[in-house]
Structure 1
């Protein structure tokens, strides 16, 4: 019998094969168990995260809505008290002005003159977004000041009744006489509102006994509520939370109050607004408002700043008093996106751990294989593994693991090696951190920086330098080539002379940049590594401000010098003639006494006009002019000016004619426009000989403009003076045809106020042929209040 020869196998091969099968089986079993439990735990965590995330976002939006509603309720509680306090404070301010004017003038002026000064001071004052004003009534019921209805001034309004039949003036006088001050409530039909509705208006008055008058101001509670609503709307618009969170407001009838949308605006009716899945969003808001304490709604909405429609959850709650639906929402797609990212990270971790498992299996197999070899191979293998691991550790910065080696000698030398690796890794991290910090500061500091090597070749320059000079190729830029950006002047020559010293001192230079000529401060530094650093920053705004300040001071000094000079004449006249009157009391004839008094009167009026113009000019220079644009009837305005200046024209027997047609209107600030027209007409009277004429006319012109023309038959002006006025320069004042003096401020004020009203002033004149001043203003502007 012939026996079949079996194939011989070595113990090493058998051990290697069995260990290989066992290792692979164990590896795949452990991997499967690991994957199963990892996926199951992830699904549990994902569901929990989904629920917690949704609940967290609900709490977030509900808290934002509650904060807004709490603020609304808090504000409403003090609405009427706030209005009353405001009216009282405003009236006290006006009373203080009246008292101050009275105390300063009661010894030198009649009560009627003092009252005129008080009316001039209070007439232009506006507050509460331009609707508030002051009124003056004497204790006999005569309206002394009514800025919005000047036609009632001078009339006795004791019989004036409000919409409910109350005698408002009588009630005010009763409070003024009995208590000295107090609140009065009336009911009126507001202009531009439903004529069938009555609105409650509260006024506060305070009596001023020395003049027998009382001053007051009033406001409608409905207007105060609108102011508060506007303030709250602005606050809501600024409210942001989270990445895309904001607060929105709609009325119970579906009108947008505060909305963040490219398609819809405030005031649009959006009751039928439907999302991309057919949800009637505003109608769902209404349903949520009718739930106790408000409710949540879900819908899909466009993410701000993107083209993506995403699911959204919002909390809605109503404010019944204002019929407002307050809501805030958040996009909930981010929850699923976070879970998806976590799932992706899980897969990546599983792949990494699976690869690590396979690597461990291979290491085990390699160890088994080497254990079957001779001891020399074990030592040789351990040494090769050690060298390989050492290279990896040095490169990656990770510590070497003693469990990877079977030789105790290798295990004993790993701690000092790992210590060296740790120190090296920490040193590299600190170096990298320092480099990042330096680069961040270098690139973002608002100072221009350049770094040159020892050969003056540029090494670095930061963003601020690039923005200022727009230099594309830095490789060809040398320190000496920068000098071509310096204009040839003494300041720059001094800088070039001091540049090689690199003493670190900043010096002012004039330099050409991508934005034009500017003024910079530059300094040069040397570093210990033979590098040169140039540092600079822009001082152009400071330089320009200093230049403007110097020009402004020069102008003010010149004007004050002129005013000081021109005040001497009227003062000398008043002092001289009053001295004659006092020293010759009872000795002068009536004609002489009247003539001296007339001189004193004319000089006083001249000083008053001069000081009024100076005050207007000073207010214009300080920027404290407050503009309130409204529709102005030109005929009425010029009629007031003509009425005011008629006595002045009559003294010189000059015809003052208003040629403006009724019905011609424009949108402007009535106070500034009155000052402009009055100054121009007064200027025409001043330079027109007795028997002449001054006309005021107006016409429409191209470009939606209104031209107001003041024409006189006076002495005219030279071509040089006309050119100065048309170019906006100040012209020196000259005496009038009756030797009237002036400062030249009247025309300067006209020029500045016309600029405030976005208009222009042009003059046409020839010597002895009269002058024509043409003021061109926009016919229609948005009604608004400006500072």
Structure 2
């Protein structure tokens, strides 16, 4: 610091006492103010924390009560089912016995028909339940859902476990008069699979019949589940509170908004992001229960987005979770009430602080004027220094930004060079082929046109690559509807010259299926996969070298497959091929975008999936082994 500045400092020291007095008064005022403000903030924070804590305990208690109710109902399912089945069979037995007792004078065949007809149309358990009758000779007397089997023998009938169902039922009835039995049987709506069924059977003595009924355990449990969900849906809580339930697939089972019940969370859009539902399911499945905080798109009653904290608990036996929450604005309303009370006291303290400040200010007013002049001069000096510093910092920031930009450009150039290597190689080999054929006099017009077309296609691809890399990770990439067949044909236009040169035959059987996404990136993926197949085929010593490309529809998805006959991928590396920086090639041979980037494009940019497996097959009566790439894409 120069002498002039030292003199200024000396002059400032002369005024130190009054300045110190003012500073003390200011610090005292600030101290009182801050002390009150800290107390206010602490009280505000304490109230908020206590309210959140209390609400968490409340919603946990409410959810736990519902959980225990569900648990109790689930545990009693089998007993309830047994009671229901036994009561139904007893009703049927009473009907049959009344008909028999009132019509004993009639012929037995007539009586049997009257009883069968009386029971045939009776349905229960949501129209699933019905009665069946067998005699002790294992003959079916009544089977309403398969009337064509009445009169036939079920002596040798076995369920999926190999149990002789009718034999076992008759043995139980003969020894115990009545009893329960569990077996497997087809549902009316599914004749391909047998389901667990619990039945109750009773001996009808006049004709040595077995009268019984059964219920699919799964269906009865679903009825119990529906009953519980209806109960939950009818529960009412203050401030539009409600219990919600979802299955582990993200489908709403119950909610205060009736219109989203039955919808998947992706369709319902009750939360701002579907990750909320994924977190709720994972918390319920992995931890049993827990709290999640998220944004609900429409709070009941105000239909506005609101932050919400919910407690969720999973019930794994029914593959579902239940939960209840509270909203941030309710917390704020409670805090606001307490805050208003604190503000009143805070304002009283501020009045005292203001009075003290006024007194000190009046006493030291004259000294303050002199002090302000000095401070103004010093301020001007410091201001200039600060401006100089800011100018220096600004220049430094501009330099750093330029360096960062140049680094980004360098990275982009490296990526483009990596992507251009293969097309440039194709252009070189094609142009060399033209030159060679010209020299030896075998260059036909057709060869010349085809070669020029390949060079033009590759050149256009190189041009498109610049734009594609520029917007590669941008969210503004334009997605379009395009044909899988067009993609394959465009790809083959680029890589065919090298495949032909290497004596590799491509069998293209793609169909004109439409998908939606980034067409140019899919072309890059296919080029990379075909080049990988080409590289592997070059390593093997065999006359026939093939690449098969096919597409078909499966489960409303486009399946695109690329299969070679290069011997497959070694077992020890096949599980690592999608890892970043993993390669079996020398660095100088690396081309394309790599399998790691290929998977990134398929999964993140095209919303699809990719898988590679070794595949053994026959072609032209010859057995081959190769790597089969399977890509699944959206079907438009």
TM-score (norm 1): 0.38
Which of structures 1 and 2 has the bigger CA Rg? 1
More relative contact order, 1 or 2 (CA 8 Å, 6+ apart): 2
